[in-house]
Structure 1
Amino acid sequence: MVEWTKLEIEPDPAWRRFVYLYHNRTTKTKFMLETFIQRVSLEPGRTQTRRRDVTRCRKVTLQDEGTYRCFIHGLNHRETVHLVVGEQKHKPIIAAPGDDVILPCRLDSEKDLQDFTVEWSKLEMESDPADTDGHKDVVYLYRSRTTKTKFMNPSFIPRVFLNPDGLKQGDVTLKIRNVTLQDEGTYSCFIPGLNHRETVHLVVDPNGVTAPTMETSPDPGGEQTNIWISRSRPALWISLGVFLSSIFSAVWIFQKRRQKFQKPLKKLDSVPGV
């Protein structure tokens, strides 16, 4: 059995929940979402090889954007893919292991969100129905003006942070410290009270060297800007050293030339009548 689901949508009134469902060598449209029935198909011949099954979706719309999951029951094999239609609001965040990263999520207005629920989740992780004390997919949960660590994935609890000043002005950007290869994936920011949702994809490159990431959030008093900067990599320190050395060299040369031209002027000043 091969099933494709879209993680951002719930089953329709007829309890159809699949983007695509293949079972007993046939496509089961009875259980598929109507909007996809006429537009999706399994790539011909792929099921007879060891190559990945490929599902084709025709005439995509803006509403199709989101994260899709493929699940093969007999092999317990699961994969996810993020579909972007048109211009992506947030570009993928690229980091190296050990970096601190910023996952952006902001309202268009500066609405105070302190009394709203804010949930960050990782779409590749599923909630565990048997786990009554928490939710595996919840990276960060803010509710009733506090962080609800009881419902968060333990691996993220000591590493995630929401800027309280940004929260007052419609900014629920999330900071993750010391990212690992396992953190790579698609993250969803959801504010249920406003039905506001954004997604951002994090790429963790083991060989990558990333520039410092800077995010600013306005200070309520208007006199200060809070800046989050990611952990710098060794190569960046080397580049910074070379850059500063170049500046100092340029200043030194400028001073020398300035002194050289000032000496003839002093001699002219000492000549009578000049």
Structure 2
Amino acid sequence: MSMAVLASVIMTVLSSTSEDHQDVKVRPGQNATLQCQSPASTIRLLQWSRPDLASDGYVLFYRDKRSVQSFQLPSFHHRVQLVDPEMKNGDVSVILKNVTVNDSGTYECRVSANSKEHRKRATPETINTIVLKVQHSGLTGGNSDDGRHISGHLGAFVPAAGLFLILILAFVFLVVIFKKSKRRSENSDSPPDI
């Protein structure tokens, strides 16, 4: 396989995975909007799930024009709503209210449409995957006066300071090695003592 073909395959894989994957970052207590757009305009079945949880429940389970709360994980009861309850133009996005750090994880949006073709499928089609990150600090956005935004700057400063320290130590090490090798070469050039 030539390098050009290999590069083309890699770019295709990367572009196809980036189209259906999103990262969403919010702070605890905020609402998180998880975007999902179905190509079908009439939705028969909608499932929002957390595949990273070892559970059979759902974040949201919607079938035949209504939400089925008995299939929903208890931690999501009364906290999840559709952005557009009528799901016009295939918008099946949801709002997750009052998020906590425990809500961090991977969310999948799966849809089955009201068409003969889609009814033949046993499972809904995955439309979108979202990684939700609920973090206390280090997020871009409004500054608060409570001092928490400083830790975000420190989070960027600490790795840079560590890298700088490593570079200085490497430089000192190289200088010491250079001086020792220079002394050895000077000692080997001088005539032996008799």
What TM bracket, shorter-length normalisation? 0.5 to 0.7
Per residue, is there more helix in 1 or in 2?
Answer: 2
Give per-residue Cα distances to partners, 1:196-218, cap 9 Å, x unaligned.
Answer: 3121110111224454xxxxxxx
Instruction: Letter of the 1:120 partner, please give it.
Output: W
Tell me how far apart the structure 2 counterparts of residues 192 and 61 of structure 1 sit (CA, whole Å).
29
CA contact (8 A) 2:26 2:133 kept: yes
1:191 correspondence with 2:111:
yes
Moved over 4 A (4+): 59-63
Residue 124 of structure 1: how far off its partner (Å): 1.1
Residue 169 of structure 1: how far off its partner (Å): 1.8
Tell me how far apart the structure 1 counterparts of residues 71 and 135 of structure 2 sit (CA, whole Å).
29
Determine helix, strand or coil for the equivalent of 1:155: helix
Residue 86 of structure 1: how far off its partner (Å): 4.8
Q: Paired residue for 2:67, among 136, 139, 147?
A: 147
Percent identity of the aligned residues?
A: 28
Residue 69 of structure 1 is matched in structure 2 by none
CA RMSD of aligned residues (A): 2.9
Tell me how far apart the structure 2 counterparts of residues 62 and 120 of structure 1 sit (CA, whole Å).
27
Per residue, is there more strand in 1 or in 2?
Answer: 1
Return closer, same or farther for 1:86/1:192 CA change in 2, 3 Å cut-off: closer
1:89 correspondence with 2:20:
yes
Query: What stretches of structure 1 of length at least 5 have no aligned partner?
Result: 1-58, 66-83, 128-134, 212-232, 237-274
Residue 112 of structure 1 is matched in structure 2 by 42
Residue 123 of structure 1: how far off its partner (Å): 1.1
Tell me how far apart the structure 2 counterparts of residues 235 and 148 of structure 1 sit (CA, whole Å).
39
Superposition TM-score, scaled by structure 1 size: 0.41
Instruction: Letter of the 1:107 partner, please give it.
Output: S
Tell me how far apart the structure 1 counterparts of residues 86 and 45 of structure 2 sit (CA, whole Å).
14
Tell me how far apart the structure 2 counterparts of residues 205 and 174 of structure 1 sit (CA, whole Å).
20
1:235 correspondence with 2:136:
no
Residue 90 of structure 1: how far off its partner (Å): 3.8
Instruction: Letter of the 1:118 partner, please give it.
Output: L
CA contact (8 A) 2:104 2:134 kept: yes
Query: What stretches of structure 2 of length at least 5 have no aligned partner?
Result: 1-8, 119-123, 146-194
Determine helix, strand or coil for the equivalent of 2:70: helix
Residue 112 of structure 1: how far off its partner (Å): 2.5
1:102 correspondence with 2:11:
no
Superposition TM-score, scaled by structure 2 size: 0.56
Determine helix, strand or coil for the equivalent of 1:91: strand
Aligned residues: 127
1:126 correspondence with 2:54:
yes
CA contact (8 A) 2:32 2:96 kept: yes
CA contact (8 A) 2:103 2:134 kept: yes
Determine helix, strand or coil for the equivalent of 1:158: coil
Instruction: Letter of the 1:123 partner, please give it.
Output: P
CA contact (8 A) 2:107 2:132 kept: yes
Residue 174 of structure 1 is matched in structure 2 by 94
